[in-house]
Amino acid sequence: RTLKRQMMCRRDIDSLSVPFLSIYESLIPPEEEKLKQKQLLGLLEKLVCKEWPMARLYLYGSCANSFGVSKSDIDVCLAIQEADMDKSKIIMKLADILQSDNLQNVQALTRARVPIVKLMDPVTGISCDICINNLLAVVNTKLLRDYANIDARLRQLAFIIKHWAKSRGVNETYHGTLSSYAYVLMCIHFLQQRRPAILPCLQGMEPTYSVTVDNVDCAFFDKVEKLGHFGRHNKETIAHLVWGFFYYWAYCHDYANSVISVRTGSTISKRDKDWTRRVGNDRHLICIEDPFEISHDLGRVVDKHSIKVLREEFERAADIMQYDPNPCVKLFEPY
């Protein structure tokens, strides 16, 4: 591979921001969809509390981290302390409770890697997955949402990257490509690296929010409204950042030696994490550290074949952004 680090961005790049922003806007969920999600959550809370008055329901994932596009399913976490019941029993009971009301297709998936109840609400048409006590996901959802509130360009970039990944078939963990969560972390990392930086490192600052979940200390600065407009000294447009993002993953990231780490606001070495060799199914071919479960590499799903697919897709996208007269069409062409 030739490193083209010196390559400059095309001269008309900024004029491409208009079409990119209209794609972004077309993906934003309308207010009424958000209302319907709240409505469904309210109904679920009522049903759950009848049986378990101490239990709580939390939204997590794209419906709550502000990176959700229109017509997404919602992810819900049931927080419950039932010492004498294992997760699959709780799942069965939860399915029972919800079945009795007018919800549709209530299914208990007790054997999945993460056991869930799946259902559809015929009134709002919204589908929903409910998991049990996955509170780290609730906390990482808050971290992502707080980052999104610092600079509008993060949400714009992440929507465009998620849309690209879905169009190109590289947002499928069961086929060895990356989750939406991983792509959003890649966007945050990228904006932390710009000079001047567009995003700070919230976990590197004096914590104003701190919880311990499953023995993991989660602490970060969450008073983001106090940061003023952190990224104001960086004037890069969204089109420039889309180009830069693909260029970074195509030609600048050191896949052999580096781990991207939103937690530290930087990259760290694979050797320091002992992620240099394959252990079981974890190959560490692209390394993305989870901000709280720091032994988790979100790139662990990527294998020998899919790393090639991913890197070729990054290169294709970088080249389109560099040379194509109409990149907004070509970039999102179905694969």
Phi, psi (degrees; rounded to nearest 5) at 112: -65, 160
Check binding of 61 to ligand CTP (CB under 6 A). Answer: yes
Q: Contact with ligand CTP (CB under 6 A): which of 17, 72, 88, 266?
A: 72
CB of 319 to ligand CTP, least distance (A): 26
Widest Cα–Cα separation across the chain: 65
Cα separation, 23 vs 26, whole angstroms? 5
Q: Under rule CB under 6 A, which residues in 40-59 are in contact with ligand CTP?
A: none
| 60: partner contacted, choices Mg ion, ligand CTP, none (Cβ within 5-8 A by kind) | ligand CTP
Alpha-helical (H) ranges within 52-179 are 87-99, 135-148, 152-167
Cα separation, 32 vs 38, whole angstroms? 10
Cα separation, 178 vs 285, whole angstroms? 12
CB of 77 to ligand CTP, least distance (A): 9
Q: Tokens representing 78?
A: 């049931």
Closer residue to ligand CTP, CB minimum distance, 282 or 315: 282
Alpha-helical (H) ranges within 295-334 are 304-323, 327-330
Quick one: which segment of 40-48, 117-125, 175-183, 280-288 binds ligand CTP (CB under 6 A)? 175-183
CB of 142 to ligand CTP, least distance (A): 9
Check binding of 298 to ligand CTP (CB under 6 A). Answer: yes
- CA distances, 292 to each of 137, 174, 192, 272 (Å): 10, 23, 17, 17
Q: Contact with ligand CTP (CB under 6 A): which of 180, 261, 306, 322?
A: 180
Q: 3-class SS at 205? A: coil
Interhelix angle 180-193/238-247, rounded to 10 degrees, is 100
Q: Contact with ligand CTP (CB under 6 A): which of 37, 66, 124, 141?
A: 141
Residue window 78-117: x/- pattern of binding to ligand CTP, with contact defined by CB under 6 A: ----------------------------------------
Cα separation, 40 vs 84, whole angstroms? 29
| 68: partner contacted, choices Mg ion, ligand CTP, none (Cβ within 5-8 A by kind) | ligand CTP
| 179: partner contacted, choices ligand CTP, Mg ion, none (Cβ within 5-8 A by kind) | ligand CTP
Q: Tokens representing 127?
A: 């589908």
Cα separation, 20 vs 265, whole angstroms? 27
Check binding of 265 to Mg ion (CB under 5 A). Answer: no
User: Which parts of this chain interact with ligand CTP (CB under 6 A)?
Assistant: 60-62, 65, 67-68, 72, 75, 137, 140-141, 179-181, 298
User: Which parts of this chain interact with Mg ion (CB under 5 A)?
Assistant: 61-62
